[in-house]
Amino acid sequence: MDSIASTIDHQKKEEIRIRFLKVDTSNVADVLDNLGYPNQGLAAEFSPFPATADRLAGWAYTIRGQMTPFPLGGDPEKMMACQGISPGEVTVWSGDGEGICYFGELIAIGMKERGCVGSLVDGGIRDVRWIGQHEFPVFARYRTPIQSIGRWKVNAWQTPVFLRGATTSLVKIEPGDFILGDEDGVLTIPAAIVEQVLEEAERLTSIEVSIRAELSAGMTLAEALKKFGHV
């Protein structure tokens, strides 16, 4: 079955993505709570690599793998999976790998060439310095020099995946859901409510901008809260 995101044309999807880059995950998380989606946050271990990486915002392209001993020489399924990536997408890597990287600089370059705008990795990455120089934002659980070849193998892509959660053990991510990450952490937004969440997050952001301006002009916090309410 096609996702909600697949019914939106590319221009509209890119417009939504760019708008999300201007709102904070904190506001989006509050909106999700109010809409009855309290468990969309990912585990605190997910961090930007390098630490100076840009925000992560894009439509989920999912990739799944598992620890599987196999001969050295490459992982053709991983290469096949990456061939399907479209502009504006974030690759979401899931699986049971521990201590090994799911990809490094060269695959990051290949993904960026296809229009990929970043990666979310429930596992490890390597070549952190070089990935940073390519301005390719990655949020992952850890970094490691140990390659996946011979140890961890891709077995599916564009299928629902589960990543470690903040308030629940696992968070389900469907292809076409929206991924947003910044200094505070990472969220996944179900495709069916992406536009609703964005509009409300933009409203909250506008209120916060006004509050900061009033505080800078001398208004006390109590006065600001009385005028604008809790945000």
pLDDT at site 50: 94
Annotated binding site for Mg(2+): which residue ranges?
Answer: 127
Ordered by start, the domain boundaries in the chain are 4-191
pLDDT of 150-185, one tens digit each?
999 999 999 999 999 999 999 999 999 999 999 999
Query: Whole-model pTM?
Result: 0.90
pLDDT at site 1: 43
Distance from C-alpha of 120 to C-alpha of 60, rounded to nearest angstrom? 9
pLDDT at site 215: 78
pLDDT in tens, the chain (231 residues): 455 566 788 899 999 999 999 999 999 999 999 999 999 999 999 999 999 999 999 999 999 999 999 998 889 999 999 999 999 999 999 999 899 999 999 999 999 999 999 999 999 999 999 999 999 999 999 999 999 999 999 999 999 999 999 999 999 999 999 999 999 999 999 999 999 999 999 999 888 776 677 677 776 777 766 666 666
pLDDT of 105-129, one tens digit each?
999 999 999 999 999 999 999 999 9
Closest CA to 149 of 214, 65, 73: 73
- Alpha helices, DSSP H, located in the chain: 10-20, 25-34, 76-83, 105-113, 128-133, 194-216, 221-228
> What's the distance, Cα to Cα, between the start and end of the chain in Å?
37
pLDDT at site 208: 76
Annotated binding site for substrate: which residue ranges?
Answer: 104-107, 126
Peptide bond into 48 cis (omega under 30): no
Amino acid at 39: N
Annotated binding site: which residue ranges?
Answer: 104-107, 126-127
Distance from C-alpha of 168 to C-alpha of 146, rounded to nearest angstrom? 29
Q: Is residue 108 within 8 Å of residue 131, measured between CB atoms?
A: yes
Surface-to-core class of residue 165, CB atoms within 10 Å of its CB (0-12 exposed, 13-18 middle, 19+ buried): middle
Surface-to-core class of residue 3, CB atoms within 10 Å of its CB (0-12 exposed, 13-18 middle, 19+ buried): middle
Give Dmax (Cα) for the chain. 67
For domain 4-191, the CATH class is: alpha beta
Query: CB count, 10 Å around CB of 150?
Result: 15
pLDDT at site 228: 67
